Chains A and B, each alone.
Chain A
Amino acid sequence: MLTEAQAWQALDAVEDPEIPVVSVTELGIVREVILGEDGLRVVVTPTYSGCPATEMIAESIVDALKAAGAGKVSVETRLAPPWSTDWIAESAREKLRAYGIVPPQPALPDGAQVVRFMSRKLPCPRCGSSHTTRLSEFGSTACKSLYRCEDCREPFEYFKPI
């Protein structure tokens, strides 16, 4: 039987399948770990409605906890409050940058207006130049947009604030 602290420790090692430098706890999607008579319940808040990694993450969580010695493990989804990039741990931001993804700026407040032709001046994660251009609002996954550095000419991704 695992303690709650041991369960969290095991979860710290579960990687996000699409951004393998960040764990699910650093991503801020694990809301609660509940030790009950019927086993261990992990409450997860999905990032995007259609995120294709959701099911894989749930499987990885179950596998990791069982490997750490847990008995019965179940994963529950909780929608409210909705996940925000503001929940990403400070420790994960440098890891994202080192991996080539610019970490998210603060999320838009509720009721914020939609911005047209947004030109965020993002620093290139490779050379640091702020001479960068957005190529696409949507990158390889819904949570990122695609940019290009006009100085080092390398493409890079931006974790969109949500």
Chain B
Amino acid sequence: MTQTTPAHLEYVLRLGDAALIHGQRLSEWCGHAPVLEEDLALANMALDFVGQARMLLSHAGVLEGKGRDEDTLAFLRHEGQYRNPTLCEMPNTDFAHTMIKGFLLGSFNLLMWSRLCGSSDEALAAIAAKSLKEARYHVEHTGDWVIRLGDGTEESHRRAQAALDMLWPYTNELFAANPTDDAAAAAGVGPAWSDLAEDWEKAVLAVLKHATLTVPARTPFQSYGKFGRHSEHLGHLLAVMQHLPRSFPGATW
């Protein structure tokens, strides 16, 4: 186990918060998906992400060494203390939007977990090896849907393209260089996220092409969720997610 540095903790929090917030958004579909099979699929993927978040946030609590556990970190932090990329917190609209978002994030996770299997942080490497197996199924499922919707009917293509146009600018943030990543990479904790950009784009573009979707041009737009500056949507998400432990402090069942 490597010495814990602020960058190390920050790096793990970004991963944990990304899994938690994406998992929460997926869970919002429960009972609302277009067909029963997708209701099950979305809820099952949400469980995987929340499970990964539990392991990552527990580990972050250990790294921090202030006695905070997974629940304290998930339920008792404020908006500005969350480190998930903004893309994760984008509100659900239609099914195409969720599949495109899940595919963009899932493809990123697949590369990330694969690299993190070799982390100098043994606990993180163990979480990565486990999550990698799950991520393959997430990418398979969402990728299939991206192709089916994009190369589907006029209406499904229109919706998939609109979702891609809306979400694409937020992927800039995933690969933005920053000192936390530099320090984590130097310590062998994990790759700088920007290192994954090329492989991610290659994997994603191949599927988008199959899906007959047009990849939007890159713009200078930047979002800053992983630096703690979020869109207006995260606060609303947290209000729902944290409602119970905030209303009944210390409640257990």
Contact = CB atoms under 8 A, between A and B. Distances in A.
Question: Do A and B come from the same complex?
Answer: yes
Interface of A: 46, 48-52, 79-84, 107-108, 110-112, 114-118, 135-142, 146, 160, 162
Contacts of A84: 133
Contacts of B51: 48-51
A142 B55 contact: no
B75 to A, nearest CB: 17
26 contacts: A48-B47, A49-B52, A49-B134, A79-B55, A79-B123, A79-B127, A83-B130, A84-B133, A111-B114, A114-B140, A114-B143, A116-B144, A117-B144, A117-B147, A118-B140, A136-B38, A137-B137, A137-B140, A137-B141, A137-B144, A138-B40, A138-B44, A140-B40, A141-B44, A142-B44, A142-B45
A10 B129 CA distance: 30
Contacts of A50: 44, 46-52, 54
B136 interface: yes
Contacts of B117: 110
Contacts of A115: 140
Contacts of B44: 50, 138, 141-142
A141 B47 CA distance: 10
A80 B126 contact: yes
A132 to B, nearest CB: 15
* Secondary structure type dominating chain A contacts: loop
A116 B140 contact: yes
Nearest to B49: A50
B76 interface: no
Size range of the chain B interface in the assembly: 35 or more
Contacts of B141: 137-138
A80 B125 contact: yes
B197 interface: no
A140 B52 CA distance: 20
B60 interface: no
Contacts of A139: 40
A49 B48 contact: yes
Interface in B49-84: 49-52, 54-55
Contacts of B123: 79
A81 B129 contact: yes
A49 B70 CA distance: 14
Interface in B125-181: 125-127, 129-131, 133-134, 136-137, 139-141, 143-144, 147
| Chain A CB within 10 A, most for which of B37, B44, B45, B129 | B44
B143 A116 contact: yes
B28 to A, nearest CB: 16
